Amino acid sequence: RNIPEASTAKATQTIDVSNATWHNFARLVDVQVGSHVSGVSELKRYLQRFGYVKDDATDLSDVFDGHLEYAISLYQQNLGLPITGRLDTSTVALMSSPRCGVSDAHMINAGVHTTAR
Amino acid sequence: YTYFGGKPKWYRDKLTYAFSETHKLDYMNSDDVRKAFRRSFGRWAGVIPVSFEEIDDYAKADLKIGFFAGDHGDGQPFDGVLGTLAHAFAPENGRLHLDAAETWVVDDDFKGGGSTVAVDLESVATHEIGHLLGLGHSSQESAVMYPSVRPRTKKVDLTVDDVAGILKLYGANPRLRLDSLTQSEDSLQNG
């Protein structure tokens, strides 16, 4: 679907102010499952850092695999984004935003369902 | 709202807090930092029957606040400008660490221009105090306990989601006025 103009503007602004490491996520927008793209491994490390990829996971390659798609879906669910499993603009923008350093692992363990509250 | 595993909480109605004398900002008046935190603690104290008192003795304080840079020995290294801004530990650990590399501002200093990467200290303090008290992250963007915060933005008012979470842990302060809370559309829809 088309992204509303306001959302696009907000996402772009957020990416622009992010730190050097996470700023690189902007080039991963719309990367597809099965792709091999430089920078995907950094995204996996980001998701591991915040509890979405297991701590003992060793395959942090640049391949966008099914595990990453699932991790992105969990992230979207916990952060109140539309759950697509895709690296859409709003997801990448939020991943690029500054945040609290506390892992989201407790949200995953709690099985967050916002509609249930 | 969510909680940490096991729903840890404090079992006292009076908690002390102190600022590190060695790990502090050199560009910000410590009185300004103290005032910002006093307001942040006051927001939570207005909701639950727990009071917060600042003391000078950092070692003896229940809650220990400091500004740290890079790897500071707790397994959660900071990463420079933006990225991760701060972290705090679940009860009854009591440590609250802020990234010294950030451009912290108080009292809406970012409104008159200034740095594009300025971060409002009071907003982050309010969020991290929620962690100190036992709250995890919220999925509601309007909530103080939402994990992400934009630079040059102030978000200090507790929402219904924040308050509902903390009330389940500690019960209500008798002076709590529910009509003073910020209510998101989601909160209203979910009763």
For the stretch B132-173, pLDDT in tens is 999 999 999 999 999 999 999 999 999 999 999 999 999 999
As a whole number, mean pLDDT of residues A5-18 equals 43
Rounded CA-CA distance B62/B76 in Å is 20
> What are the backbone angles phi and psi of residue B105, rounded to the nearest 5°?
-135, 155
Rounded CA-CA distance B130/B116 in Å is 26
Q: Which of A15, A23, A102, A112 is best to mutate for the B interface (most B CBs within 10 A)?
A: A102
* More confident position, A22 or B126: B126
Which value does ipTM take for this structure?
Answer: 0.92
Write out the catalytic residue numbers of B.
Answer: 128
Q: Are residues A80 and B140, on separate chains, in Cβ contact within 8 Å? A: yes
pLDDT digits (tens, 9 = 90+) for A53-74: 988 887 799 999 999 999 999 9
In chain A, the residue whose alpha carbon lies closest to the alpha carbon of B76 is: A101
Residues 6+ apart with CB under 8 A from B51: B13, B14, B15, B45
pLDDT digits (tens, 9 = 90+) for B51-100: 999 999 999 999 999 999 999 999 999 999 999 999 999 999 999 999 99
pLDDT at A1 > cutoff 70: no
Four-CA torsion A102, A107, A110, A113, nearest 10 degrees: 160
Q: Are residues B79 and A21, on separate chains, in Cβ contact within 8 Å? A: yes
Rounded CA-CA distance A91/A85 in Å is 9
As a whole number, mean pLDDT of residues B124-130 equals 98
Residues 6+ apart with CB under 8 A from A98: A17, A18, A19, B82, B83, B84, B85, B119, B148, B149, B150, B151
Q: Which of A20, A102, A117 sits opposite B137 (nearest CB)?
A: A102
Chain A residues touching B78 at Cβ < 8 A: 101
Chain B residues within 8 angstroms (CB to CB) of chain A: 1-5, 76, 78-88, 99, 116-117, 119, 124, 127-128, 131, 136-137, 139-141, 146-151, 161, 164, 186, 190
Would you put residue B186 in left (φ > 0), alpha (ψ -120 to 50) or beta?
A: alpha
Q: Is residue B47 within 8 Å of residue B163, measured between CB atoms?
A: yes
In chain B, the residue whose alpha carbon lies closest to the alpha carbon of A104 is: B137
Strand B95-99 relative to strand B86-88: parallel, antiparallel, unpaired? antiparallel
Inter-chain CB pairs, A–B, below 8 Å: 99
Query: Of all residues in chain A, what percent carry a pLDDT higher than 90?
Result: 62
As a whole number, mean pLDDT of residues A76-82 equals 97
How close A80 gets to chain B, by Cα (Å)?
5
pLDDT at B157: 95
Rounded CA-CA distance A64/A31 in Å is 8
Residues 6+ apart with CB under 8 A from B93: none
Amino acid identity at B26 = D
Chain B residues touching A110 at Cβ < 8 A: 2-3, 136
Q: Are residues A94 and B81, on separate chains, in Cβ contact within 8 Å? A: no
Amino acid identity at A46 = Y
pLDDT at A19: 56
Chain A residues touching B117 at Cβ < 8 A: 17
pLDDT at A15: 42
A51 C-beta neighbours (distance < 10 Å), count = 21
> A92: closest CA among A28, A10, A39?
A28
Return the top range by mean pLDDT from A13-17, A18-22, A68-72, A105-109: A68-72
Amino acid identity at B35 = K
pLDDT at B182 > cutoff 70: no
Could you tell me the sign of the dihedral formed by the alpha carbons of A78, A80, A83, A87, in that order? negative
> What are the backbone angles phi and psi of residue B157, rounded to the nearest 5°?
-85, 125
pLDDT digits (tens, 9 = 90+) for A18-62: 455 566 788 899 999 999 999 999 999 999 999 999 888 877 999
In chain B, the residue whose alpha carbon lies closest to the alpha carbon of A113 is: B139
Task: Please state, rounded to an integer, the average pLDDT across all residues of chain A.
Answer: 81
Chain A residues touching B190 at Cβ < 8 A: 115, 117
Confidence of residue B101 (pLDDT cuts 50, 70, 90): very high
The DSSP annotation for B133-177 comes to HTB---S-TTSTT-SB--TT----S-BHHHHHHHHHHH---TT--
pLDDT digits (tens, 9 = 90+) for B6-61: 999 999 999 999 999 999 999 999 999 999 999 999 999 999 999 999 999 999 99
The token pair at A24 is 């690189």
pLDDT at B188 > cutoff 60: no
